[in-house]
Amino acid sequence: MLKFKRAVNLLIAATVLTGSFIIPSVQANAAATPLKVGGSTTIAPLARTLETGFEASTGNAVDVVITEGGSGAGLSGVLDGSLDVGMMSRDLSDSEKATYPYIIPITIGKDAVAVIVNPSNPITNLTQDQVKNIFSSAATSPITNWSQLGGNNAPIEVHTRTEGSGTLDAFKELALGKTTIVSTAINHPSSEEMQVSVKDNANAIGFVSLDYVNETVKSTKIDNIECSVINAKNSVYPYVRPLNYITKREAVGNALKWIYYNLGKDAQALIESKKYIRVNDDTLNVVVNSEIQQTVKDVAGELDDGISLTISVTTGDNSSICTAVNNEQAECGIIKGDLDSSWAGLAGRAVAQDSTGTKFTFVTKKFGKVDAIGAAEVLRYVIRNPRGQKIVVKNGLFRVWKFGDVTGDGLVNAADYSNLRSYLLKKVVSLPATAWLFSADVSGDNLINAGDYSILQSYLLKKTTQYPTMQAENKYLPYYPPMP
């Protein structure tokens, strides 16, 4: 196994046949600077366990401050700038994605949500319908007494989490069809408090992360399937959710180091030891079209911050790439052209294009609401962001987005100006392009504001010949259309 090492310059070594290489951890030399991480009460204990190893990997140059308050607090903290990294134990909702398209989630693990009862309760199995009829306010056949399930003649005491909890949101989506919990349920601000309450009450029922299941409570089977790591990993157990870190736009600096550390082999092994499901093994296997192979190596090798993960890059044709990803012989791949609709279990997103406009499509398996997880998600993200797109162009290929193309139609025209103006005047809450809003950052200052609107207006009125971003990177922009 060969490794990349970064000192003054990045020294690159790779095997000729496999293209294997490592993005190593980087030792920081700056004075300790707090990294503020907060949110999900499920992820917080895990993050604290990972904190020591991360700080040691940076030479103790980074001080991680971890707070908790629920997944909602993680999102609001990132939005208002009080957190560098938010923790969310659920996916972003459709409305959150539309309202905050610049919030970027990275999955570091997966978790099973267990339904728990008191150890003295004779009930050992529940069907998914029974779970709905116990917990849901919209139950068609409400179950309120344990005798209805063959248990003791005693009222069922439902326990739940307070609003803003990622565990609650995930449970409602996974188990209750997005309906609300019965109004008689007892609320708890943390999973730990719910666990204790169920332990102390013979008639109680609740739900917690698998990590909170121990000898003090009993996890019921669901449809005769035990809530376990192996059943969750194999997608047999029905209530499985992601553990996400979120950042506002592209993670940089210590936030990026923290996310990469969590995806490294040591952290992933620890995540697995805590009854969570790791999202990548020690090696990320990538199969790509030969025309983009060097780009993939360069994108990984030139990251400013490292992840201790071996990446094996091999080549193949479109059919062999899709087959490898579909059969889980590779975590991801890059084909030339669009993903054929016959691959129903795969998802694709363009990361580059050639001089004829033919796209290179990043391919992964579909995982519920997301189409990439863990290290594969990071690799795709980095290729698509401005830093990765520069490397794409350096290797003779072309960007998949254009500065100023707000509508995402491949043109820079009055429609982009109109949409950006409406967005800045708050007439619309989101831009029509994808969540990758780098195209609207015309000035290249990592913000979307009046400066971008002014430059785009001047460009369209022919008062300027190029954007500042284009001038700074002119040698990387051979495909830009002539002035309108």
Instruction: Give per-residue burial for 39-58: e unless 16+ CB within 10 Å, then b.
Output: bbbbbbbbbeebbeebbebb
The answer to the question of residue 483 being in a domain is no
pLDDT tens-place string over residues 459-473: 777 766 665 554 444
Whole-number pLDDT of residue 125: 97
Q: Measured over all CA atoms, what is the biggest interatomic distance in the chain, rounded to whole angstroms?
A: 81
Same domain, 69 and 48: yes
Based on the fold, state whether residues 116 and 223 are members of the same structural domain.
yes
| Domain carrying residue 288 | 283-394
Q: How far apart are the first and last CA of the chain?
A: 52
Say whether both 119 and 234 belong to one domain: yes
β strands within 167-308, DSSP E? 186-188, 204-209, 218-219, 221-222, 240-248, 277-278, 283-288
Asked if 299 and 391 count as a contact pair (C-beta separation under 8 A), the reply is yes
- Shared-domain flag, residues 197 and 140: yes
Single out the residue in 263, 278, 293 at which a domain terminates: 278
Pair 389, 441 in one domain: no
Amino acid at 255: A
pLDDT, tens only, 170-221: 899 899 988 999 999 999 999 899 999 999 999 999 999 898 999 999 999 9
Residue with tokens 């003649």: 153
Q: What is the pLDDT of residues 10-58, one digit of tens each?
A: 222 222 223 333 333 333 333 457 999 999 988 999 999 999 889 888 8
Q: Quick one: 126 and 188 in the same domain?
A: yes
Structural domains counted in the chain: 4
Residues 82 and 135 placed together within one structural domain of the fold: no
Both 196 and 312 in one domain: the answer is: no
Which residues in the chain show pLDDT less than 70?
1-32, 250, 281-282, 302-309, 367-373, 408-410, 428-438, 444-447, 463-484
Residue 210 lies in a domain: yes
CA dihedral 472, 8, 22, 477 (to 10 degrees): 10
Residues 269 and 221 occupy one common structural domain: no
At 388 the pLDDT is: 81
Considering the domain architecture, whether residues 383 and 434 belong to the same structural domain is answered as: no
Asked whether residue 406 is assigned to any structural domain, the reply reads no
Question: Is 11 within the bounds of a domain?
Answer: no
Same domain, yes or no: 274 and 287: no
CATH number at residue 236: 3.40.190.10
- 401: in domain: no
Per the DSSP assignment, residues forming a β-bridge with 206 are 116
What is the SS3 assignment for 252? coil
pTM of the full structure: 0.62
Same domain, 292 and 386: yes
The dihedral built from the CA positions of residue 289, 438, 24 and 37, taken in this order, carries a sign that is negative
